Amino acid sequence: MEYKHLHEANRLSWNAATRAHNRHKGDQAAFFRAGGSPLFPEELALLGDLQGQAVLHLQCNAGQDSLGIARLGARVTGVDISDEAITFARALSDASGIAAEFVRSDVYDYFDGLAAAGGQGGSFDTVFSSYGTLCWLSDLARWARGVAAALRPGGRFVFVEFHPAALVFDPQWQPRYDYFNDAPVHEAGVGDYVGETQNAREDPQASASEAFTNPHPSHEFAWGLGRVVAALLAAGLRLEALEEYPYMNGWCAFEGMQDLGGRRWGMPPGMARMPLMYSLVARRPESA
């Protein structure tokens, strides 16, 4: 793979960032044992009834959403490139009493493993991915083909992502990143966006009490909405739903964003609304 070395650099960056993120989240096992769920209403509505389904959660991070999906009655396999994230996810599964399988793998390597196992159709009823996943993918067409191949005939891909139109801005709302960009963008490292969002919610004027500097740089890729849809269609999936939202779930990405409640953030007061997030559902046809 042309960018395999960048994926490995991102793995190290995510290992460091995951430790920082989880220190802000409290006792997550107790949260789950008390009946809590990290899933937002958008995911719950899109996923629908998962009872008895086999669900593949791609780029599952530390497994919190995977366990939320398993709580809905699904048999979940979570895949993530970060060693730290998968170690945490397995421990959280044990401590919470919610069963799920977690696999440490680059998503492309995981797809290759599925292909090597053979068969005309995938084994998953639903493939799911959400929030800040596409920017780590160096080959969009290969990703879309992998998603399609992982699905059984009739299976669905459910996807929620931050809108690429918003991601052209830096945190001060200044245009910085090219929407149409084929080259990787090199950054200082995955940041502690969990802590920054928590601080913004508790006191918008406060600075982070525990500054985090990632010792490992990261490398991201920009994929416009049209290219995402085109890649999924080219992989043989059929688009069933596409929606845009004027808010972000779980991330206060820019200065002055309004806390809308429910871990949701909207545009600053007085600014014209723009799409900050989108979702789509695509299905693998029952037959070719």
Domain containing 56: what range? 4-283
The CATH number covering residue 51 comes to 3.40.50.150
Nearest CA to 60 out of 25, 96, 87 is that of 87
Give the HSE-up count for residue 158: Cα atoms under 13 Å, Cβ half-sphere: 19
288 falls within a domain = no
Q: Is residue 12 part of a domain?
A: yes
> Distance between CA atoms of 150 and 39, rounded to whole angstroms?
23
> What is the Cα–Cα distance from 103 to 114, expressed in whole angstroms?
13
Do the domain assignments include residue 238? Answer: yes
Of all helices (H) and strands (E), which one includes residue 278? Answer: strand 277-283
Q: Is residue 142 part of a domain?
A: yes
User: Does residue 59 form part of some domain?
Assistant: yes
- Residue 269 DSSP label: T
The reply to whether 97 falls in a domain is: yes
Q: Which amino acid is at 184?
A: P
- pLDDT tens digits for range 20-72: 777 777 788 999 999 999 999 999 999 999 999 999 999 999 999 999 999 99
For residue 52, tell me if it sits in a domain: yes
| Number of domains comprising the chain | 1
DSSP 81: S
Kindly give the parts of the chain with pLDDT less than 70.
1, 119-121, 191-210, 288
pTM as predicted: 0.92
Q: Tell me how far apart the alpha carbons of residues 218 and 275 are, in angstroms, rounded to a whole number.
A: 25
